């Protein structure tokens, strides 16, 4: 008998009827970027098994500031997307919000695809 372990993350494009199970949170973002470039479609996280309860807020800076306690040197963008999906945001909507907030100077990227709040 085999034990099938379910991946922690699953992403879907409802327009293409595609489901993907990336190996990590940031791979959900990588999938979104590739899929968006090829099709123009947004994707949603359909499963994000986080080991903790994400901050219950739709304010991006509040979410990232709450998550920073768990991650050194920045919160992976995929984890931010997972937390924001709990509030009904798609991956694309979260990335657009990240871009807008970064332009205000409230966020920075201490390393690639990781965010921190000022």
- Condensed to tens digits (0 to 9), the pLDDT of residues 12-41 reads 999 999 999 999 999 999 999 999 999 999
Burial 42-61 (b: 16+ CB within 10 A, else e): bbbbebbeeeeebbeeeebb
pLDDT mean across residues, the chain = 94
Residue ranges with strand state E in 2-101: 9-13, 18-20, 44-48, 75-76
Give pLDDT, residue 8: 93
Residues pairing with 114 in the sheet? 76, 111
Give pLDDT, residue 3: 57
Q: pLDDT tens for residues 60-80?
A: 999 999 999 999 999 999 999
Among left, alpha and beta (phi > 0; psi -120 to 50; other), residue 75 is: beta
Is residue 2 pLDDT above 70, yes or no?
Answer: no
Q: Is the separation of the CB atoms in 44 and 90 below 8 Å?
A: yes
pLDDT band of residue 6 (cuts 50, 70, 90) is confident
pLDDT band of residue 4 (cuts 50, 70, 90) is low
Is residue 53 pLDDT above 70, yes or no?
Answer: yes
Q: Is the separation of the CB atoms in 29 and 35 below 8 Å?
A: no
């Amino acid at each position: 008998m085999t034990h099938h372990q379910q991946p922690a993350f699953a992403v879907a494009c409802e327009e293409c009827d595609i489901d993907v199970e990336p190996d990590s949170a940031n791979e959900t973002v990588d999938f979104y970027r590739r899929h968006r470039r090829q099709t123009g479609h947004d994707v949603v996280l359909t499963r994000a098994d986080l080991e903790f309860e994400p901050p219950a807020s739709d304010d991006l800076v509040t979410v990232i500031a709450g998550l920073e306690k768990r991650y050194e040197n920045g919160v992976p963008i995929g984890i931010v997307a997972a937390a924001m999906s709990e509030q009904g945001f798609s991956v694309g909507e979260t990335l657009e919000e990240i871009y807008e907030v970064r332009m205000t100077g409230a966020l920075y990227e201490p390393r690639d695809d990781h965010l921190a709040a000022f």
